[in-house]
Amino acid sequence: MAMGSASCISLVVLVALATAATGQLSSTFYDTSCPRALATIKSGVAAAVSSDPRMGASLLRLHFHDCFVQGCDASVLLSGMEQNAGPNVGSLRGFGVIDSIKTQLESICKQTVSCADILTVAARDSVVALGGPSWTVPLGRRDSTTASAALANSDLPGPGSSRSQLEAAFLKKNLNTVDMVALSGAHTIGKAQCSNFRTRIYGGATNINTAFATSLKANCPQSGGNGNLANLDTTTPNTFDNAYYTNLLSQKGLLHSDQVLFNNDTTDNTVRNFASNAAAFSSAFTTAMIKMGNIAPLTGTQGQIRLSCSKVNS
């Protein structure tokens, strides 16, 4: 049955209203309200990563630490609070990059693009800038007016986590075991502080390559040097690839929480698969990133669009 143009238009309006009411995210959210939003974020990330390749990993981690606490609502960007939690204090980076992108966006589209969306898109653009896969990011998140250090301390898995603790932390966010192993592959870029792997190299761990452990001791003494850094992936530290998994096969995972994924356990086969098949890893990683970006977003009239990412609107 042919429909008249008027009923076609009303149907489009109804669909748009239904989408807004149910709070669905949409990849075309800013197409009309801020058409240059995605390009602005991409160029800001590209510039930051080209001057400091580690920034790509830092922005990716910022998004992960945001989504795991209250959902992807930019709560991690609010000054104090979550930023002071154990997993975050002294190690989160990239706030200046997000602030700079936000300032540019405010100058072209006033109070339109949320900090939560900037962070989500910046995570994707960071992966792409370092040679990794791309994916379409659903948009329309709004920003929280609260943040919680207590939730950050309870919900973010730490470097000493066991395989079952990691599984539980991810399952709590509706991410399955394959998602967890794939998202751990974000450690194919970035660095970790000595305090996060000291126990692994001095504590008599049997699942670490001896020469690898020895090489790490040079820059991570038994006491002091807590902030000294080591590459999470020694093979290609500034390229987003599947080398992280190949390293695990030869017991060269930097953190305890990395190596537990390949340690005569239930996740061994997934690690083997990702190590031998880069396309399988890319596919699982992009699927998991979209799922993670969809954790409890604020939409519609919830929350606000912060004018400055570090503070709630007055």
Q: Is 237 annotated as a binding residue?
A: no
Rounded to the nearest 10°, the torsion over CA 147, 313, 305, 13 is: 120
Q: Is 236 annotated as a binding residue?
A: yes
Q: Is 256 annotated as a binding residue?
A: no
Q: Is 167 annotated as a binding residue?
A: no
Best CA proximity match to 78, nearest among 112, 37, 57, 70: 70
Q: Is 69 annotated as a binding residue?
A: yes
* Residues 6+ positions from 4 with CB-CB distance below 8 Å: none
Q: Is 75 annotated as a binding residue?
A: yes
Q: Is 82 annotated as a binding residue?
A: yes
Place of tokens 């602030």: 99
Q: Is 65 a catalytic site residue?
A: yes
Q: Is 159 annotated as a binding residue?
A: no
Q: Is 31 annotated as a binding residue?
A: no
Q: Is 265 annotated as a binding residue?
A: no
Tokens of residue 140, six digits: 């329309």
Q: Helix-strand-coil percent breakdown of the chain, rounded to 5? A: 50, 5, 45
Which run of H or of E encompasses 192? Answer: strand 191-193
Bridge partners of residue 229, in order along the sequence: 193
Which residue in 65, 124, 141, 306 is the catalytic one? 65
In terms of phi and psi (left: phi > 0; alpha: psi -120 to 50; beta: otherwise), the region of 300 is left
* Residue numbers belonging to the annotated binding site for heme b: 187
Residues marked active site are found at 65
* Residue numbers belonging to the annotated binding site for Ca(2+): 66, 69, 71, 73, 75, 82, 188, 233, 236, 241
* Residue numbers belonging to the annotated binding site: 66, 69, 71, 73, 75, 82, 157, 187-188, 233, 236, 241
* Residue numbers belonging to the annotated binding site for substrate: 157
